């Protein structure tokens, strides 16, 4: 799901350093379209695409509010924004699935959830159910709200206070109504890993208990709080007994990129509900693991406020879990663990890819991963008896319920200070206030705080995403990438403005239409976590739990400038709630489509599938004849890409490429997103008699699951014949390099770096069809490089000199080798022809999840070049 953004009067603003705004109202649609390169733009002139900018959804000042600014429709609008609570609706249950993996554990199968929620809604007037979205596999996501009844007027009042807290935090801090009557939002997220089931069952039990309770404590709790339960965040995995969703994605690694529909639904919950406290239920760590974490801590949080509340809530959950009476001797249950207190490193909160590490940027001042203790998945699921599995699951449900109840108790008892801290989080962002380093003085009551826990950053004054290069202004590498990045920022509720005049900032000239991200905004932490370079933390800890560098400002392919300081006075902008369209087609002559962005590769493959004539250009772009203008117009609209006029005639014909892919699920997803026709293969598939000729495959992409040495004689002969007959190979990582070596193709020595290393790296591109015009940064995870290059091997890309790591964690291995200094200057991407096949090998991770989006075209170009 995305944000629905209403059309409202456009606000022209002049930014001034003191934060005041000079406002002028324009009628919607009065903005003029950008002039297009290559002559008259046949898409934009007189077209409804001439302007897609509208005013921002979030008001920033009393003046905005006076102009009638309103919240954007979101989850609340699904059942009618003018309605109060409860908002009951009858859910349509899915078909009964006897193969649901939950059943063996004695837990609720997905098909039973809707009927149970229907029954609970009928109990009283406290429970409402919304459909928050659908999973990758098409299953409904149920968001349950539990609160005391509200009239439509009271609900509207609650929404106004919520808006005040985020967008006018100074006023909210002084508003007695916020202190006395704002309902504190609490978010409980369950089953994000599909084979970590029990949070769902604990949530259903607690929802039913709250619906039926008659005691005064429950009435008081629900009168002062709104409780939100994402009953199962990953129904695909719940049913199948898998950690990922139906697309093969680990949803709890996707929050900075939001490539999956389930994550976009949770993101929308964060924006629309603005939880002050949240917990995310997982398994399995014995004893029960309860965050806060070990260092390193994310440098973009208001960590003093976060640690204060998260540690205090953790103590309450620990007491509740241990108080259930389970013991190691009797039940196999160890006492609960709080990593901040009990461990030195290894369970950090550095990357914002996890649910509890993302939610603080939307105002959560306490957010936790909870890992209940008793393992029931993977080998245990298959090997243990059903009674033992059900015994363990029942313990986990009990522990998950205790963590939920303790969290509600903490929130209710401390609701005034919790909301005050949420207000302070947004106030610091909106005013540009400095972060407060954690210490025993700034976070009293939390033991063991030391220098190793201090992580802060110097927020820049602004970021600028340039529009283009004219009249000497700062250029934009890819208009398509810039448009996508801006849209992503807006979808994450980051405020973005667009310049209405040319301007100069930080010593650089920018064109009208450039985007400005003013870092004096409530969600500055989220803006910075996406756009900043990040930090090299290799010297901070020995290992990291997951990735340590992810900069979308460097990896998504757009030019992004950081403005360190100074005043924005005189920079005339207007707030936008969508990025401007970049799609256009030159009105005459042949057409060039650059392949600098994944959308452009998608457009190319769409054109090729429809028989459009396309030829290669030396710089990696492609040329269409003027006769293909009609098809180009459709592609430009469909994919929002630009076709410029060109006098170049191009070289070889580009043909549709069918790809046999032995790759990770994320890579498969990326290939299909770029409209490649993909046939998944593996060692087993080839050994089963894969027919290369009948398949119509022109290129093989290998990164996982295909071992040349494990192929039987027939499969090996078939693969050799495919390669010798002109089939191309694109290899990534150790398995891709191994296949190249085993098949005796390119003469190169592949060198593996430290397998624990990952992050954003500086690279030098050699130009040509694979990396011509590519970004100057890429991503590595278990980095690799190539030495001993034989005759005919071309270096397409190299690691930067010195220390190529910009941000992340990359140390030398135990023997002192495999570090970034060993990789410096070495080839990271190579190509060549050998034994009848064209080959491209990657030592980087150009399709890692959705993080290096700007590197996706390198793989697309490679596949097109070898086929």
Mean pLDDT, rounded, for 631-647:
97
pTM of this structure = 0.91
**Per the domain annotation, does 749 fall within a domain?**
yes
- C-alpha span between 274 and 833 (Å, rounded): 55
The answer to the question of residue 81 being in a domain is no
Active site residue 424: yes
So what's the pLDDT on residue 82? 67
Rounded CA-CA distance 608/161 in Å is 53
Same domain for 226 and 156: yes
Looking at the structure, do residues 571 and 595 belong to the same domain, yes or no? no
Rounded to whole angstroms, what are the CA distances from 351 to 289, 304, 548, 549? 19, 17, 6, 8
Domain match, 463 and 546 both? yes
Please count the CA atoms within 13 angstroms of the CA of 100 that sit on its side-chain side.
22
pLDDT at 2: 33
Instruction: Inform me whether the pLDDT recorded for 78 exceeds 50.
Output: no
Identify whether residues 569 and 589 lie together within a single domain: no
Mean of pLDDT over the chain: 91
One domain, residues 722 and 771:
yes
* Lowest mean pLDDT segment, chosen from 88-92, 320-324, 647-651: 647-651
Q: Which residue has the higher pLDDT, 472 or 373?
A: 373
DSSP, residue by residue, 339-382:
HHHH-SSSSEE-STTSHHHHGGGGT-SEEEEEEES---SHHHHH
pLDDT at residue 618, rounded to an integer = 87
In which band, very low, low, confident or very high, does the pLDDT at 9 lie, cut at 50, 70 and 90? very low
- Residue 650: pLDDT band (50, 70, 90) is confident
**Which carries the bigger pLDDT value, residue 73 or residue 103?**
103
Which pLDDT score, from 0 to 100, does residue 5 have? 39
Q: Summarize pLDDT for 65-75 with one digit per residue, the tens.
A: 322 333 333 45
What number is the average pLDDT over the span 455-480?
88
Which is it for the CA torsion 287, 288, 290, 296, positive or negative? positive
CATH assignment at residue 289: 3.40.630.10
The per-residue pLDDT for 243 is: 98
Q: Does the pLDDT at position 14 exceed 80?
A: no
- Confidence (pLDDT) at 462: 98
| pLDDT given at position 717 | 97
Average pLDDT over residues 179-190: 98
Confidence of residue 47 (pLDDT cuts 50, 70, 90): very low
- Read off the pLDDT band of 17 (50, 70, 90): very low
Residue after which a domain boundary falls, among 646, 668, 689: 646
**Residues 386 and 522 reside in one and the same domain:** no
pLDDT band at 12 (very low <50, low <70, confident <90, very high): very low
Q: Is 841 exposed, middle or buried (0-12, 13-18, 19+ CB in 10 A)?
A: buried
C-alpha 586/C-alpha 468 separation (Å) is 17
Strands 728-732 and 777-781: what pairing? unpaired
Calculate mean pLDDT across residues 594-607.
Answer: 97
What average pLDDT does the segment 586-593 reach?
A: 96
Same domain, 56 and 198: no
H or E element: which one contains 273?
Answer: helix 261-273
Question: Does residue 439 belong to any structural domain of this protein?
Answer: no
Same domain, 322 and 412: yes
Q: Is residue 677 part of a domain?
A: yes
Buried b (16+ CB within 10 A) or exposed e, 560-592: bbbbeeeebeebbbbbbbbbbbbbbbbbeebbb
Mean pLDDT confidence for 7-27: 31
Span between the terminal Cα atoms of the chain, in Å: 36
pLDDT at 55 over 50: no
The answer on 747 and 815 residing in a single domain is: yes
Is the pLDDT at 467 greater than 60? The verdict is yes
- What does the pLDDT look like over 212-262, one tens digit per residue? 999 999 999 999 999 999 999 999 999 999 999 999 999 999 999 999 999
The rounded Cα 42 to chain-centroid distance in angstroms is: 35
Rounded to whole angstroms, what are the CA distances from 32 to 29, 36, 46, 51, 585?
8, 12, 11, 7, 18
pLDDT for 531 equals: 98
Residues sharing a CB contact under 8 Å with residue 229, sequence separation 6 or more, in sequence order:
143, 144, 145, 146, 188, 190, 203, 206, 207
Tens digits of per-residue pLDDT, 785-828? 999 999 999 999 999 999 999 999 999 998 899 999 999 999 99
Q: Of 576, 595, 626, at which residue does a domain stop? A: 576
pLDDT, tens digit, 9 for 90 and up, residues 258-296: 999 999 999 999 999 999 999 999 999 999 999 999 999
Q: Do 483 and 589 belong to one domain?
A: no
Coil, strand or helix at 67:
coil
- DSSP code of residue 616: E
User: Would the pLDDT of 710 be above 80?
Assistant: yes
Residues 119-146 pLDDT 10s? 999 999 999 999 999 999 999 999 999 9
The pLDDT, as a whole number, for residue 587 is: 95
As a whole number of angstroms, the distance between CA 720 and CA 322 comes to: 61
CA–CA separation, 408 vs 751, rounded Å? 52
Choosing from 60, 299, 424, 796, which is the catalytic residue? 424
131: three-class secondary structure by DSSP: strand
Residue 11 has pLDDT above 70, yes or no: no
- pLDDT for residue 536 is more than 50: yes
Would 651 be classed as within a structural domain?
Answer: no
Q: What is the pLDDT, as a whole number, of residue 345? A: 95
Please report the pLDDT score of residue 565 as a whole number: 86
Task: For residues 833 and 173, give the distance between their C-alpha atoms in angstroms, rounded to a whole number.
Answer: 67
pLDDT of residue 645: 96
DSSP 536: B
Same domain, 192 and 311: yes
| Interval 479-532: pLDDT, tens | 999 999 999 999 999 999 999 999 999 999 999 999 999 999 999 999 999 999
> What is the reported pLDDT for 81?
56
What pLDDT is attached to residue 472?
63
* Residue 540 located in a structural domain: yes
- Pairing type for strands 658-662 and 699-702 reads parallel
The residue with greater pLDDT, 7 or 111, is 111
Would you say residue 5 lies in a domain? no
Q: Is the pLDDT of residue 734 over 50?
A: yes
User: Any idea what the CATH number is for the domain that residue 782 is in?
Assistant: 3.40.50.880
User: Burial, 804: exposed, middle or buried (Cβ in 10 Å; 0-12, 13-18, 19+)?
Assistant: buried
Q: How confident is the model at residue 566 (pLDDT cuts 50, 70, 90)?
A: confident
Asked whether residue 392 is assigned to any structural domain, the reply reads: yes
Cα–Cα distance measured from residue 57 to residue 68, given in angstroms and rounded to the nearest whole number: 11
Nearest-5° Cα angle at 15, 11 to 16: 145
- The half-sphere exposure of 60 on its side-chain side, counting CA atoms within 13 A, is 28
- Domain housing 483: 10-67+457-576
Give dist(CA 29, CA 574) in Å, integer. 13
What average pLDDT does this structure show over 381-389? 98
Q: Which of 26-35, 190-199, 488-497 has the lowest mean pLDDT?
A: 26-35
Q: Which of 125, 130, 138 is nearest to 85 (CA)?
A: 125
The answer on 593 and 488 residing in a single domain is no
Structural domains in the chain (count): 4
Give residue 626's pLDDT. 96
């Amino acid at each position: 799901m995305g944000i629905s953004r209403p059309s409202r009067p456009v606000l022209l603003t002049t930014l001034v350093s003191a934060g005041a705004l000079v406002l002028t109202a324009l009628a919607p649609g009065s903005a003029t379209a950008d002039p297009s390169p290559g002559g008259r733009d046949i898409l934009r002139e007189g077209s409804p695409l001439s302007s897609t900018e509208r005013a921002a959804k979030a008001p920033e000042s009393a003046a905005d509010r006076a102009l009638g600014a309103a919240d954007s429709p979101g989850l609340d609008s699904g059942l009618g924004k003018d309605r109060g609570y409860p908002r009951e609706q009858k859910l349509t249950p899915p078909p009964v699935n006897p193969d649901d993996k939950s059943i063996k554990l004695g837990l609720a199968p997905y098909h039973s959830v809707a009927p149970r929620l229907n029954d609970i809604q009928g109990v009283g007037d406290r429970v409402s159910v919304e459909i928050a979205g659908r999973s990758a596999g098409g299953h409904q996501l149920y968001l349950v709200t539990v609160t005391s009844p509200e009239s439509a007027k009271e609900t509207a009042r609650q929404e106004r206070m919520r808006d005040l807290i985020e967008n006018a935090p100074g006023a909210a801090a002084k508003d007695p109504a916020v202190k006395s009557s704002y309902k504190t939002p609490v978010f409980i997220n369950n089953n994000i890993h599909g084979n970590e089931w029990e949070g769902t069952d604990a949530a259903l039990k607690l929802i039913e208990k709250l619906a039926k309770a008659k005691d005064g404590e429950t009435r008081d709790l629900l009168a002062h709080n709104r409780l939100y339960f994402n009953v199962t965040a990953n129904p695909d995995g719940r049913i199948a007994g898998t950690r990922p969703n139906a697309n093969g994605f680990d949803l709890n690694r996707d929050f900075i990129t939001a490539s999956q529909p389930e994550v976009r639904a949770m993101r929308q919950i964060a924006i629309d509900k603005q939880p002050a406290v949240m917990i995310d239920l997982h398994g399995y760590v014995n004893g029960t693991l309860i965050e806060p974490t070990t260092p390193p801590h994310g440098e973009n949080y208001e960590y003093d406020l976060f640690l204060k509340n998260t540690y205090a809530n953790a103590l309450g959950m620990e007491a509740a879990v241990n108080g259930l009476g389970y013991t190691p001797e009797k039940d196999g249950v160890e006492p609960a663990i709080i990593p901040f207190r009990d461990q030195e490193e290894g369970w950090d909160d550095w990357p914002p890819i996890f649910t509890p590490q993302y939610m603080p940027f939307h105002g959560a001042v306490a957010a936790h991963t909870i890992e209940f203790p008793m393992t029931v998945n993977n080998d245990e699921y298959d090997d243990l008896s059903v009674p033992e599995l059900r015994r363990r699951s029942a313990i986990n449900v009990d522990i998950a319920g205790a963590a939920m109840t303790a969290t509600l108790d903490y929130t209710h008892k401390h609701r005034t200070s919790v909301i005050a801290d949420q207000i302070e989080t947004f106030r610091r962002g909106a005013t540009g206030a400095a972060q407060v380093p954690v210490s025993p003085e700034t976070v009293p009551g939390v033991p063991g705080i030391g220098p190793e826990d201090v992580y802060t950053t110097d927020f820049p004054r602004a970021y600028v995403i340039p529009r283009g290069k004219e009249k000497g202004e700062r250029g934009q590498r890819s208009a398509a990438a810039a448009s996508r990045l801006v849209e992503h920022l807006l979808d994450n509720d980051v405020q973005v403005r667009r310049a209405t005049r040319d301007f100069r900032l930080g010593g650089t000239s920018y064109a009208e239409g450039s985007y400005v991200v003013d870092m004096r905004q409530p969600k500055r932490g989220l803006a910075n976590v996406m756009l900043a370079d990040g930090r090299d933390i290799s010297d901070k800890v020995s290992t990291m739990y997951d990735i340590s560098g992810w900069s979308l400002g460097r990896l998504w392919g757009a030019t992004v400038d950081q403005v360190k300081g100074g005043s924005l006075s005189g920079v005339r902008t207007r707030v936008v709630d969508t990025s401007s369209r970049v799609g256009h087609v030159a009105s005459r002559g042949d057409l060039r489509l650059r392949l600098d962005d994944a959308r452009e590769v998608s457009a190319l493959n769409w054109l090729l599938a429809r028989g459009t004539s396309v030829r290669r250009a030396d710089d990696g772009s492609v040329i269409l004849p003027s006769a293909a203008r009609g098809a180009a117009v459709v592609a430009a609209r469909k994919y929002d890409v630009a076709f410029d006029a060109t006098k170049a005639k191009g070289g070889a014909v580009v043909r549709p490429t069918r790809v046999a892919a032995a790759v990770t699920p994320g890579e498969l997803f990326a290939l299909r997103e770029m409209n490649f026709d993909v046939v998944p293969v593996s060692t087993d598939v080839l050994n089963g008699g894969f027919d290369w000729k009948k398949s119509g495959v022109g290129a093989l992409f290998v990164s996982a699951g295909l071992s040349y040495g494990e192929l039987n004689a027939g499969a090996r002969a078939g693969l050799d014949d495919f390669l010798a007959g002109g089939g191309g190979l694109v290899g990534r990582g150790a398995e891709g390099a191994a296949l190249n070596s085993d098949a005796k193709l390119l003469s190169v020595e592949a060198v593996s770096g430290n397998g624990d290393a990952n992050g954003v790296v500086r690279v030098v591109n050699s130009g040509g069809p694979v990396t011509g015009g590519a970004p100057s940064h890429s991503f590595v995870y278990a980095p690799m490089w190539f030495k001993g290059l034989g005759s005919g091997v071309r270096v397409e890309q190299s690691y930067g000199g010195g220390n190529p790591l910009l941000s992340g964690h990359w140390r030398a291995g135990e023997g002192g080798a495999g570090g970034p200094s060993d990789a410096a200057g070495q080839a990271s991407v190579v190509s060549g022809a050998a034994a009848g096949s064209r080959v491209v090998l990657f030592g980087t991770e150009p399709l890692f999840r959705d993080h290096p989006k700007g590197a996706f075209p390198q793989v697309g170009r490679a596949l097109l070049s070898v086929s």
